[in-house]
Amino acid sequence: MNQTFKKLEEEYLQKGQALSMALVVLEWDQATEAPKEANENTSKMIGVLSDLYFHAYINDEVKDMMKEIKQEQDTLDEREASIFRELELLYEELETIPPKEYAEYAELTALSTNIWQKAKEEKDFSKFAHTLERLINYKKKFANYRKKEDGKTSYDILLGDFEPGFDEKKFDDFFAVIKKELVPFIQEINEKAKNVEKSFNFKSFDVEKQKEFCHFIAEYIGFDFNKGVIKESAHPFTTNLHNKDVRITNHFYENNLESAIFSVIHEAGHAIYEMQVADELTLTLAGTGTSMGVHESQSRLYENIIGRSEAFWKPIYPKLVESFKEQLKDVSLKQFVQAINKPECGLIRTEADELTYSLHILIRYEIEKLLFEEKIKVSDIPSVWKEKYENYLGVTPTDAAKGELQDIHWAGGDFGYFPSYALGSAIGAQIYYYMKEKMPFDAYLAEGNLKPIQEFLKENIHKFGKTKKTNQILFDMTGEEFNPMYYVKYLKEKYRMLYEG
């Protein structure tokens, strides 16, 4: 136990944690609960709180203590060392930003989600364009403040915030594999699966019954309602105050049975990660998921690898049929599993199947690169979006809500986030193959016994919070760093089995 660190943690870092928690709960509240007209006043106060958050970490006292601790760094225990490293990263990220700009930016992001939501409702990109431009300009400016190493691009820096250790080069390599291996494979499978029937999942489904089933399935996979809450919002998301208060949202469409079910499994995957972070780490800088990619590996492992497998549905499909007898009574388990995996080139990322999903990400990755390299302007987004969807997926957006306004991420200033979805899918596959070696994975699913899987993820990933980074987690667990070939292998095996058998 380092005494200076102890003082730092009790007298300073706690304040940052408390302010961060307040901001989390306000953001959650704005998305799920606050009345329409509240936004302007509340955003102003969120700006003030963000400024306080900033200064809780970035101030001369903390800086002096950090210098002191740095000199006696070898006396830090493991927990302290991890928190200290996160503090250094935070300094690297925040210290260069003038506080006034940081507060302005925070106030802007508090308003921008509402502006995006309205623009989306009105299917009018121009109503969001100016806000988006401001967000991008702030992000560019902030990234430029931080550029130290030669050759680092602004976008490299943003990518690294979500996925420490990964940059444009690494993502370019990753997406090159995806393109090379999967684009031809998608065409092959699309052809084979084209006659698979799935219209039964798009009949009319009572929303209250959907909610009940989603509640059931969240609990079934391990979401603990004593430590969590599920509500509704425009776009499903997960957030957490700490490891005993983790919250997810869902959305419901009457004519789509798949959307809510796979959204809730996805978000519950994120939530289980946060719920299983060790008690001694929660409410510290090292107390949440280690990176977006690893987070997405968990959500997409649950959503796709587990949640779209036949073994998973074997024990619970009868319950689903029971809930929606009229619509599903003539649909066999096999037909249902073929339906929920059917590859289709669509417009909406969150509704995409596992195979085409990475192309949706690729498009966003390429557009973000173009924006940050200043090769296109914000006003070009709609036409570039259209062109890329036509080229990669052969579909044309019918309106902005089904096109460039579909995702909440940019409205929150989250540029560089999307690639981690694809990375997460690939990490998930790598973990999956390792788990299959270590336990009777499919047999557990078929028995309805998901606890050993949850426990394994806790012991190998979740409990560490940010104390281990992506490649370290993979290496310590599997003996190998990130390798995208497992993802290719997984998709090829799975889809061949599904539609060639």
Q: Which residues of the chain form contacts with a second copy (CB under 8 A)?
A: 14-15, 17-19, 21-22, 25-26, 29, 33-38, 40-42, 44-46, 48-49, 52, 225-229, 241-245, 282-283
Reduce the DSSP state of residue 238 to 3 states and report it: strand
> Whose Cβ is closer to a second copy: residue 20's or residue 341's?
20
Q: In the bound complex, what is the minimum distance in angstroms from residue 36's beta carbon to a second copy?
A: 5
Q: Cβ 47 to a second copy, closest distance in Å?
A: 8
Query: In the bound complex, what is the minimum distance in angstroms from residue 185's beta carbon to a second copy?
Result: 43
CA nearest to 288, candidates 454, 86, 427: 86
Identify which of residues 10 and 173 has a Cβ nearer to a second copy in the complex: 10
Which residue type does 207 have?
Answer: V
Nearest distance from C-beta of residue 245 to a second copy, angstroms: 4
**CA contacts within 13 A on the Cβ side of 117:** 15
User: Cα–Cα distance between 23 and 17 in angstroms, integer?
Assistant: 10
Structure-token pair, residue 203: 């009949």
Provide the H-helix boundaries in 95-206. Answer: 99-121, 126-146, 154-162, 168-193
Rounded to whole angstroms, what are the CA distances from 21 to 28, 90, 134, 239, 465?
10, 16, 26, 10, 17
* Minimum gap (Å) between residue 49 Cβ and a second copy: 5
In order of 10, 167, 173, 226, 380, the CA distances from 279 in angstroms are: 17, 32, 37, 16, 47
> 134 or 244, CB closer to a second copy?
244
In whole angstroms, give the CA distance from residue 495 to residue 501: 10
Closer to a second copy by Cβ: residue 26 or 348: 26
Q: Which two tokens stand for residue 469?
A: 């980074």
Closer to a second copy by Cβ: residue 16 or 416: 16
Catalytic residues: 267
